[in-house]
Amino acid sequence: MAGVTTVLFIQAPLIYPAPQNLNQSNTPDLPSKRRSRPMITDVINPAVLTRLHNYGESFHDGDPFKHVLMTDFFSESFIEGILREFPVPDPDKLVNEFGYKSRKHAVHDIRDLGPTFKRWDEVVQSSEFIQAIQTITGIDELCYDPEYHGAGTHNNMDGQGMDVHIDFNLHRTTGYHRRLNLIIYLNEEWDESWHGNLELHKNPWDRKNDYFKSFPPYKNHAVLFETNEHSWHGFDNIVLPADKKNLSRKSLTVYFYTKERPQEEIAPKHS
């Protein structure tokens, strides 16, 4: 698979259910005949939408846990709009998604970044898009998060990394179960040797038997993976060449939730 390094290891229906929203009070309960159903092919590459079942097979076969890589995810015109509106951080105000000082900049309120981001927000909560993600993953009743808690734009500078970890499991406001991460990379120029590659691990605490898959953050590559108590992931510190220090590792992230999840997957709340 192009753009993937393996280390040490062997049509959506025409009528869709209404999207689920983590904050239903912000979404009027309109009759289905009045609910707008915007086309999403201006945003998502139509070729991606024709391969949902193929992506589903890859997702369920994913190792060390369920995941799938989708290349050329956005339409070309849309990703150019995203790149034009992508926030440029003030070096003196670099904080991560939790508000701590770092070599990372994160923005959650993406709707204010520009019309392209506002359009992305419309698509993410649309029935068409949510049904597409459900078709790939087999997870029903997915909920969109209007808070983009921990998600949104992520911009990592030279020297920044992310320790291998599992994600928080419950939404801070609703208590809904976090089920999926979707990360779309936006880097027009990147070399795998610069590190910063997404790594999906079997178990970093079992060093003898651990292995991982690595995904360089190439432009318009999207990685969708399940989040649970063994979805270990992270990336090692970015090491840019001296003449590339002006670059950064850019991505756009969305997390999906469900009100319930299988009992055997439920764990006490953790960050």
pLDDT tens profile 209-250: 999 999 999 999 999 999 999 999 999 999 999 999 999 999
Contact assessment for residue 206 and residue 197, using Cβ atoms and an 8 Å cutoff: no
Burial of 192 (0-12, 13-18, 19+ CB in 10 A): middle
Residue 14 near residue 165, CB atoms below 8 Å? no
Q: Please provide residue 174's backbone torsions phi and psi, each rounded to the nearest 5 degrees.
A: -100, -20
User: Tens digits of per-residue pLDDT, 83-125?
Assistant: 999 999 877 777 666 677 788 999 999 999 999 999 999 999 9
| Separation CA 197–CA 234 (nearest Å) | 8
Assign 1 a pLDDT band (cuts: 50, 70, 90).
Answer: very low
β strands within the chain, DSSP E:
5-7, 20-21, 67-70, 104-107, 143-144, 152-156, 162-165, 177-185, 198-201, 212-215, 222-226, 232-235, 249-258
Q: Which residues pair with 184 in a beta bridge?
A: 222, 252
Structure tokens at 26: 């912000």
Q: How confident is the model at residue 6 (pLDDT cuts 50, 70, 90)?
A: very low
* Band of residue 267 on the pLDDT scale cut at 50, 70, 90: very high
Rounded to whole angstroms, what are the CA distances from 55 to 61, 85, 237?
10, 29, 29
Rg of the chain over all Cα atoms, to the nearest angstrom: 18
Query: Residue 24 in contact with residue 239, Cβ under 8 Å?
Result: no
pLDDT digits (tens, 9 = 90+) for 167-220: 999 999 999 999 999 999 999 999 999 999 999 999 999 999 999 999 999 999
3, pLDDT greater than 60 = no
Q: Measure the CA–CA gap between 82 and 73, rounded to whole angstroms.
A: 13
Kindly report the average pLDDT of the chain as a whole number.
Answer: 88
* Main-chain dihedrals φ then ψ at residue 72, nearest 5 degrees: 50, 50
pLDDT band at 132 (very low <50, low <70, confident <90, very high): very high
pLDDT at residue 11 greater than cutoff 70: no
